Amino acid sequence: MGKVALEGIEFHAYHGVFSEENKLGNRFTVDILVETDFREAMVTDQLKNTVDYGRLYKIAQGHMLVPVKLLEHLAHLMIADIREAYPASTVVEVKIKKHNPPLGGVVNYSVVTVRYPEDYQA
């Protein structure tokens, strides 16, 4: 088993509950972690035997283009697509930071972290 991650992916997007967030947008940072068995990739040097960073980026990018209200929902959507692309993954974690959330005071960012399978158990 091993871990593949993308950290600090930055986007300007329009997610949020408040109407000004949907109009003005905000800066977001996304971190993605995937745990999987990539021993075959270590030996074969073939991308098909591991998690493709480019594909992870495209999944995140695609979801950042479609506004949603809650970061929890956004992380869930990303995890669902990552799990579909990499069904052998044992853990998928998505962390989303919203920079300067409109809360009426100085806040660097709000953060939501969703982790499969822990956050998906009944």
Enzyme catalytic residues: 98
**Strands ordered across the beta sheet of 2-13:** 2-13, 26-36, 91-99, 109-116
Residues, the chain: 122
Q: Report d(CA 32, CA 51) in Å as an integer.
A: 11
